[in-house]
Amino acid sequence: MSTSLTTCEWKKVFYEKMEVAKPADSWELIIDPNLKPSELAPGWKQYLEQHASGRFHCSWCWHTWQSSHVVILFHMHLDRAQRMGSVRMRVFKQLCYQCGTARLDESSMLEENIEGLVDNLITSLREKCYDEDAGQYRIHVASRPDSGPHRSEFCEACQEGIVHWKPSQKLLEEEATYTFCDASKTKAQESSGYNFFSLRWCLFWASLCLFIVYLHFSFRSSAFL
């Protein structure tokens, strides 16, 4: 997929969804490869998509790879008086680790992924520019598995100081909770097995004692006869 086609697809999806979300306002989407994180003009807001799914194609050696750690930076501004808004967007690139060329390559994305990303953008836009409660963000999962762990030395976003590939605190807490529950379940099963084992032996010794008592009284009865 060429860069121009990807850009056109982004604009097409964005304009269609904004027409539904905010039909009374006019919004534009501008691709800005020089956009910098946290460097905002007065009145502008920022949204950072940290785990988008994209596919890269090296223009030098034709190597392709999939990544679920594509970073997309958005700067947003709404002029309430003019009812006009603007979004500036930058998709961070990655270097090809196969041939080691210094050429940064852009990612291509499926239309369904772009639609989900635009939904997240509009959610952030409604929260930060319109002060609305826009609901939850969509979670994106790569359409194909990664070719390997994220390599920050080949990531343009990482080189510019955006730490995005480490698992979030929420995911770490969920994993810790799952591990704790799993361990508790295993311990409970072991404890249950131990109680059953002890009960079984108690019944055995009780039966043996009753049998001995029975034999004792039987012998005594025989002796009296």
Give me the residue label for tokens 């772009």.
Answer: 114
Task: Return the sign of the alpha-carbon dihedral for residues 166, 171, 173, 177.
Answer: negative
Which residue do the tokens 């989900």 mark?
A: 116
Report residue 142's pLDDT band, with 50, 70 and 90 as the boundaries. very low
Lowest mean pLDDT segment, chosen from 31-35, 115-119, 140-144, 205-209: 140-144
* DSSP three-state, residue 91: strand
pTM metric for this prediction? 0.67
The mean pLDDT value for 30-46 works out to 95
* Mean pLDDT computed over every residue of the chain: 78
Query: Which one-letter DSSP state was computed for residue 155?
Result: B
Buried b (16+ CB within 10 A) or exposed e, 21-46: bbeebebebeeeeebebeeeeeebbb
Q: Tell me: the pLDDT tens digits for 8-24?
A: 899 999 999 999 999 99
- Percent of the chain exceeding pLDDT 70 equals 70
Residue 222 in tokens: 């025989």
DSSP 8-state code for residue 130: S
Helix, strand and coil percent figures for the chain, each rounded to 5:
45, 20, 35
User: What does the pLDDT average to over 92-113?
Assistant: 80
Domain residue extents for the chain: 3-167
| The predicted structure's pLDDT at residue 154 | 86
Q: What is the pLDDT of residue 108?
A: 82
Token digits of residue 77: 């501004």
Question: First-to-last CA distance in the chain?
Answer: 106
Residue 217 predicted with pLDDT over 80: no
In this predicted structure, the answer to whether residue 1 has a pLDDT above a threshold of 50 is: no
pLDDT at residue 132 above 80? yes
| pLDDT, tens only, 146-172 | 446 677 888 899 988 887 755 444 444
pLDDT surpasses 50 at 48: yes
The secondary element (H helix, E strand) that includes residue 37 is none
% of the chain with per-residue pLDDT over 90:
36
Residue 116: phi, psi to the nearest 5?
A: -65, -40
